[in-house]
Structure 1
Amino acid sequence: MRTPPGISPTVFATALAEFAAVVGKDWVFSTDEDAALYRDAYSPLQGTSEDRWASAAVAPATAEEVQAVVKIANRHSIPLYAISTGKNLGYGGSAPNYSGSVVVDLKRMNRIIEVNESNCYAIVEPGVSYFDLYNHIQERKLKVWLDVPDPGWGSLVGNALDHGVGHTTSRFRNHFDAHCGMEVVLANGEMLRTGMGAMPNSKTWAQYKMGFGPILDGLFSQSNMGIVTKMGFWLMPQPEAFMHAVVMAPRYDDLHPLVETLKYVENLGIAPGPPELGSPLLGAGGETKSLVDMFFNGPPKMDKQQAALVAGSKLGFSSALQQYGLDNGVPYWSLNLTFYGPAKVIAAQWEAVQDIANAAIKGAKFSNGPILTDAQDAAAKQLIYPQNVGVPNLEFFAFGSRAGGNPQPANGHMWFSPVIPQTAEGIFEANRVFDEATRTIPLLQNLPMFNLRPFSLPSPFHERTFLFILGFPILDDPAVNKSIIAAFRELIRIGAEHGWGEYRTPSIFQDQVMGTYSYNDNMLRRVNETIKDALDPNGILSPGRYGIWPKAMRGVAK
């Protein structure tokens, strides 16, 4: 059995025995084999002494048990690391930032406390997955939809606290923005409820976000200020119908008016569903569904002339390639849109989008699928990407499997995901900058998942910005993984030089990324540290999470 740094075996054994007295001995995991289950399955540090490890884990079943665990940890100075379900693969998994921490595994706290159909909200504990809540809703035939991320096995609470995103309307796609009220265990074991939940017997916990006084909820997202034990979420009313449609633009420079069209129709609420950009001419599908298909079946098939022109293009452009598209009716760009609501409203919205695009893009073309009403049927028949209609699944993990489009899968992946401006200029500049980076970082040229060339289009999950997401593989070779880590760090540095900050990142890069938010001598980090010291003077809660270290560990433990 390993012990946390600076903690004697005797003290640690005492703490574990006290944890067991609270949660039951079957829910304290202290053998090396048990603790190994909490490593990051996608860690690029696997096989090295630097890999992050847990000394033990404890799984409380109630908020009161979490309080007791935290109080015990405080008495014995045991560092804790809280996880909801530990499914944050690609961004650190269930491994602690600070090796030797005891993982507080909240998977047993899986109660769905309330789902209100009339006011469209749910209140859940952190162990509730998207599958759990979806099944609960379906079994009771409630007329509400979830907004789900690509893999549905994760926790609503955990995903929202890590600023995860989904696939329905912008109002629900940003999962932390869609939350309403939370219950938090602080480092001293006391319980805090935010918003309207701070009022005993509140009738509007998950309906009114602000409450009274300062809004504290943000302190507990991407941080280590407390352990969230309950959270409210706004749900989407089940629409009468939905429809997928595509706007197509013929020329390279049409990306400018196409992006402006995207912003206009989304921000006005004319096209409320998830927009996705693609390039049929470059062989880059604009639907997440087509990305999943690509992992199974390989890239879209092109004739030899088109493939040669694409290979010879620079940053996705050549006049010959553009002319090929014009001659053969292959659009340079596509904008995929999803509409929700009454059928007559959908028809009117789509007509308005076509009018707007026609006025902005010479030669724009359009296509649309049928107006559908059954989300489960449409998802099962692949008539629409299931997540776009709130149906969770695990299809996106196809990219980690051995398939026709992925004959040599990696052992895992990491996501480099900076936020860039929501403009065509931003897309072109990001491609130029990161294309140049591949020439100065030779390793990037041959990585199987590094999906920049010939041109990479961003993800429009958030309103008013894009995410420029690039995948890094984790291989079964510590030396290569070391080079991958160095390349990832270099891209973080390059992105920051251009004003593009990561929106989330694997745990091993969180100190570096926090350092890029350095305005006024790293004032953001210094304020976070001040709050951390006030709320958690012993520094026991998730040390180092998101680059926030307690006073005793600053500059020492990484």
Structure 2
Amino acid sequence: MSIPNTLSQTPTLSEKHSGIPERLLDKAQKAKSLIYETRTQFEAPSRQRGVAIPQGISKVKFFEVLNELRYEIGEEWVELNDKELKGGWYMEHPNTHDMMNILDAEELVASAVVYPGDVEDVQKIVGWANTWRIPLFPISMGRNFGYGGAAPRVRGSVTVDLGKRMNKILSIDPDDYTCLVEPGVSYYALYEELKKRGYDHMWIDTPDLGGGSVLGNALDRGVGYTPYGDHWSVHSGLEVVLPTGEVLRTGMGALPGSNTWQTFPYGFGPYSDGIFSQSNFGIVTKMGMALMPNPGGYESFMYTFPKEEDLAPLMEIIRPLRISNILENVAQLRHCLQTIAVRGQPRSKYFSGRGPIPEEIIHEEMKKTPLGDCTWVYYGMSYGPPHIRKYKLDVVHQEFLKIPGARRIDPSTLPADEYFWSRDKIAAGIPDLEELLWVNWMPNGSHIAFSPIAPIRGIDATKLYSLARKRHDEAGIDLMPAFCVGLREMHLIVEIVFDSSDISMRRKADRCLRDMIDDAAKLGYGEYRTHLVLMDQVAGTYNWNGNALMRFNERLKDALDPNGILAPGRCGIWPERYRGRGWEIGTGEGGGSEGDGVKPDWKERL
């Protein structure tokens, strides 16, 4: 199939809540064009299995009760998912399935999508689901790519797309540096609103890509790259619709007329916010966030390190600098292959053979870049007035040069399209779009992430890097690791880029990830976040004291969601109605997303 002659313009923020800011429109069009240039599959495969009907209700009855929901919410806000499972790209993506599918495309698929307009609509949807025992899967914007996108864990769930109509910035307080947002507010939208209001004294913190939900990213414990990069740690106050339909506000929000909901997160009594993060215990409809004071200046910097074995001594240098806040933002140490891949060109431009791309080719390509030959690239940022930055940067320079062959790259020598400048924006709280481009490494580029947590120590970095290298070599997959260093821990983020139309490649990627998860767990490293299809496996590694944590989560689930309607299986937490019926996705190749039915009740007769 040929590339479409024309590509439609990406929607802007003025046209759609999920759109791109005007300032990034040209970049979005270029990114979209590059993606379609490497795509070989332009039409969705025909659906062989028809509409995905949730288990426990007949097809006829499901269609009948869906009409009841239309009556409650409005005809135009309930859509049956009976159309092609089209792909798209980051800015224009499906909300019914994962466009970067690791399983068969018809596995993680919604039966329908409903668009609530307010909290009362969410309550109506939850009440309807309880009546008919129909699983719901709430999404904010559905851009959790690499972790499942908008797909539901249980095939046939009804997706609750909160972002389409619930996308208001409810408040921005310029005095206490806080905001209150609904699920459909993206980092792009929040940043642009601050600029529109002239609030230059406040920054946001953004992930690598700015199109995701501020609320959704924090709930999944995502990260950004300013000192406010731990998004969950800087939230304050939730409004939650429980699976029974009740609405609660956490922290100070439980006090009627509270004037400190966004400024003090704890309130009185047990701190309950945590149970709504990475869980299926409630639908969050509002969230407060702290905004960062403008530090009065900033300066990005970059160093390169020549050898693979520099990783361990470099981590020993980074740890005390990061803990003491000389290194102020989330430190990023990336393998040089990502520097090549983020240019947006396909792997075939550099290597057409089988197996991982040879090291000698990687280094030959690096010699052609403004960075020169190296193995590791460090991206950092210093904040504050010039004399403060100089003090900290001099310390960093002195320490980094203890690695033989380390080089500081002068930003003035870098072209405007060098990836460094995208990291410069992100570390200054300015949402960008550059990070997307490395998915073009493969045709029909998709990605899935391995994301373990470890201490900031050379021995730990080496162990994780070694096990990832071993499993990637076995699978014949290119290794693209990045170490993201927090204050006292580091995330290793390994993105496996694969062709979603290639069954063999999908299975190799799945096998590689599952092996790495088990390998890491045996060494004491656990995932902090994972893809839908890996959640059962990852949850199973947190099994101290006879799975005490999961048993506790199950008790909470059954108490808060007695009918098991809300996102069953998310983060490995299954309601009683599904337990023991084979719903967990294991390590077998080509696994499915459905189990052997649900626990019968009187509705089963219908």
Q: TM-score range by the shorter chain?
A: 0.7 to 0.9
Aligned to 1:271: 327
**1:466 CA displacement:** 3.0
Correspondence 1:150 to 2:208: yes
**1:104 CA displacement:** 0.7
Q: After alignment, is 186-195 or 69-78 more displaced?
A: 69-78
For 2:330 and 2:149, locate their aligned partners in 1 and report how far apart those are by CA, in whole Å.
Answer: 26
For 1:457 and 1:299, locate their aligned partners in 2 and report how far apart those are by CA, in whole Å.
Answer: 22
Aligned to 1:386: 425
Equivalent positions of 1:509-548 (< 5 A) are 509-548=534-573
Aligned to 1:168: 226
Cα distance 1:200–1:10, how it changes in 2: closer, same or farther (>3 A)?
farther
Cα distance 1:549–1:102, how it changes in 2: closer, same or farther (>3 A)?
same
Aligned to 2:10: none
Correspondence 1:114 to 2:171: yes
**1:165 CA displacement:** 1.1
Q: After alignment, is 253-262 or 387-396 more displaced?
A: 253-262
Equivalent positions of 1:460-471 (< 5 A) are 460=485, 463-471=488-496
Q: After alignment, is 207-216 or 246-255 more displaced?
A: 246-255
Cα distance 1:15–1:34, how it changes in 2: closer, same or farther (>3 A)?
farther
Q: 2:458 aligns with which of 424, 427, 432?
A: 424
Aligned to 1:26: 76
Matched-pair contact (CA < 8 Å) for 2:236–2:290? yes
Aligned to 1:88: 144
Q: 1:475 aligns with which of 493, 500, 503?
A: 500
Q: Find the residue that maps to 2:298 and give its secondary structure.
A: strand
**1:13 CA displacement:** 3.7
Q: 2:479 aligns with which of 428, 434, 451?
A: 451
Equivalent positions of 1:55-94 (< 5 A) are 55-94=111-150
Q: After alignment, is 173-182 or 333-342 more displaced?
A: 333-342
Correspondence 1:488 to 2:488: no
For 1:139 and 1:415, locate their aligned partners in 2 and report how far apart those are by CA, in whole Å.
Answer: 35
Matched-pair contact (CA < 8 Å) for 1:357–1:364? yes
Q: Find the residue that maps to 2:379 and give its secondary structure.
A: strand
Cα distance 1:102–1:387, how it changes in 2: closer, same or farther (>3 A)?
same
Correspondence 1:207 to 2:256: no
Aligned to 2:22: none
Q: 1:414 aligns with which of 448, 453, 473?
A: 448
Q: Deviations over 1:16-71 (max 9, x none)?
A: 233223321100012412887401111122356xx112111111010121112111
Q: Deviations over 1:525-558 (max 9, x none)?
A: 1111010001001000001111000001012134
For 1:29 and 1:427, locate their aligned partners in 2 and report how far apart those are by CA, in whole Å.
Answer: 47
Q: Cα RMSD over matched residues?
A: 3.3
**1:150 CA displacement:** 1.4
Cα distance 1:381–1:219, how it changes in 2: closer, same or farther (>3 A)?
closer
Equivalent positions of 1:162-241 (< 5 A) are 162-169=220-227, 172-241=228-297
Matched-pair contact (CA < 8 Å) for 1:418–1:467? yes
**1:126 CA displacement:** 0.5
TM-score by length of 2: 0.76
Cα distance 1:341–1:481, how it changes in 2: closer, same or farther (>3 A)?
same
The unaligned stretches of length 5 or more in structure 1 are: 302-307, 371-376
**1:14 CA displacement:** 4.5
The unaligned stretches of length 5 or more in structure 2 are: 1-50, 87-93, 351-356, 585-606
**1:410 CA displacement:** 3.4
**1:366 CA displacement:** 4.6
**1:77 CA displacement:** 1.2
Q: Find the residue that maps to 1:232 and give its secondary structure.
A: strand
Equivalent positions of 1:306-325 (< 5 A) are 311=360
Q: Identity across aligned pairs (percent)?
A: 36
TM-score by length of 1: 0.83
For 2:262 and 2:105, locate their aligned partners in 1 and report how far apart those are by CA, in whole Å.
Answer: 45
* Residue identity in the other structure for 1:525: M
Matched-pair contact (CA < 8 Å) for 2:315–2:461? no
Aligned to 1:304: none
- How many residues get paired? 509
Cα distance 1:247–1:18, how it changes in 2: closer, same or farther (>3 A)?
same
**1:164 CA displacement:** 1.1
Aligned to 1:342: 385
